[in-house]
Structure 1
Amino acid sequence: MTGGYGGGGDILNGCTISIDPGQIAVIVGPNGAGKSTAMKAVFGMLSLRKGAVRLAGRDITALTPQARVAQGMAFVPQTHNIFTSMTVEENLEMGAFLRRDDIADTMAQVYDLFPILRDKRRQPAGELSGGQRQQVAVGRALMTRPTVLMLDEPTAGVSPIVMDELFDRIIEVARTGISILMVEQNARQALEIADRGYVLVQGRNAFTDTGRALLNDPDVRRSFLGG
């Protein structure tokens, strides 16, 4: 993928990202490397000047983000990712706005994944802690029944304990067959759970390998993981 925003210069410079069903893929790299831009490009939030986006072999490059949701993509942005004045349950219901079938089973699955949300389902989402808000955001995305779930900095601003819990839940989601594509500043912890890792530098692939291999790569450790 090559592209940027509007008439500005290219932020992505030929980067390639792929993920198989049920895998966790993590994009890491220094600030300004194009990590979130790459994810937004996959979701159709900026136009590519070169390259393509394919979902299950089908070229979806021309589709709007809304159309990509209908095709099985879900995106959780880093901020402003819940309706703070709505209850937890209303937020989850909003995630199912494209569906015309019974959403009760999916709602139950989300509550099983995040039990605290069941306890707080009548509470305004804006009253929750940061970690609980992230659970609402992920839960709402899961209400679309996606095949690909994209998470932009899901652990930003949460405590290490909450971060570990969120990563555990992300692993559980992947085990259901959903592909997870994640941008994460906590690179070391994210690569520990990643089937595939991408290190971007200036919008290009600097390193691509399994999460474990990247953790053990001395060049990656020295340049991006603090030694």
Structure 2
Amino acid sequence: MTGGYGTGADILHDCTLAVDKGEIAVIVGPNGAGKSTAMKAVFGMLNIHTGGVFLDGEDITSLTPQARVAKGMAFVPQTSNIFTSMTVEENLEMGAFLRRDDITGTMDQVYTLFPILRDKRRQAAGELSGGQRQQVAVGRALMTQPQVLMLDEPTAGVSPIVMDELFDRIIEVAKTGISILMVEQNARQALEIADTGYVLVQGRNAFTGTGAELLADPEVRKSFLGG
């Protein structure tokens, strides 16, 4: 993908990302590398000038973000990703707005994945801790029954303990067959759970490999992982 916002300069330059079914792909790199921009490009939120986006072999480059949700994509932005005045359960119900079938089974799956949400389902989501809010945001995305779940900085601003718990839950989601594409500042921890890792620098692919390969790469360690 090569592209940017509106008629402005390109931010992404021949950037390539892919994630297989039930696997976790992690995008890491320095601030301003284009990580979140790449995620938004996949979701249809900026202009791609060359290249394209494919889901299950189908070219979806021309589809709106809403149409991509209907095709099986779910996107959890870093901020403003819950309805704070609504209850936890109402947030989850909002995630199923496109569905016309019975959602109770999916709701139970979300509550099994995030037990604390069942306990707090009648509570306003805005009253929850940062980590619990992220669980609501991920849970709401899962209510769409996505093929691909995209997470932009899911552990931003949470404690190391909560980060580890969120990563454990993300692994559980992938085990159900959902593909995870994730941007993450905590690069070392994210690569530890990644099937594939992408290091972006100035909107370009700098390094690509398995999570283990990137963690073992001296250049990646020195430049991006603090040695």
TM-score by length of structure 1 reads 1.00
2:189 maps to 1:184: no
Task: Work out whether 1:34 is the aligned partner of 2:34.
Answer: yes
CA distance in 1, matches of 2:203, 2:23: 23
- Report the counterpart of residue 65 of structure 1 in structure 2: 65
Point out where structure 2 has 5 or more consecutive residues left out of the alignment.
none
Deviations 1:121-174 (A, max 9, x none): 000000000000000000000000000000000000000000000000000000
Displacement of 1:7 in angstroms is 1.4
Question: Which residue in the other structure is 2:146 paired with?
Answer: 146
Cα displacement (A) at 1:119: 0.1
SS of residue paired to 2:49: strand
User: What's the counterpart of residue 156 of structure 1?
Assistant: 156
TM-score norm. by structure 2 comes to: 1.00
Question: How many angstroms apart in 2 are the aligned matches of 1:54 and 1:35?
Answer: 19
Which sections of structure 1, spanning at least 5 residues, go unmatched? none
Distance in 1, matches of 2:13 and 2:31, equals: 16
Code of the aligned partner of 2:24: I
Q: Provide the rounded CA distance (Å) in 2 between the counterparts of 1:8 and 1:52.
A: 19
In the aligned structure 2, how far is the partner of 1:108 from the partner of 1:46? 35
- Identity of paired residues, percent? 85
In the alignment, the residues of structure 1 paired with residue 84 and residue 205 of structure 2 have an alpha-carbon distance, to the nearest angstrom, of: 37
How far, CA to CA, are the matches of 2:200 and 2:8 in structure 1? Answer: 20
Aligned to 1:79: 79
Aligned length: 227
**Take 2:115 and 2:150, find their aligned partners in 1: how far apart are those partners?**
22
Distance of 1:10 and 1:212 partners within structure 2: 31
Give 3-state SS (helix, strand or coil) of 1:13's partner.
Answer: coil
Which amino acid is 1:68 matched to?
R
Q: Which secondary structure does the structure 1 equivalent of 2:140 belong to?
A: helix
Distance 1:128 1:106 in 2: 22
**C-alpha RMSD of matched pairs (Å):** 0.3
Q: How many angstroms apart in 1 are the aligned matches of 2:76 and 2:105?
A: 21
Q: 2:119 — aligned with what?
A: 119
| Moved beyond 2 Å, runs of 4+ | none
Residues 76-123 of structure 1: CA distance to partner in whole angstroms, max 9, x if unpaired? Answer: 000000000000000000000000000000000000000000000000
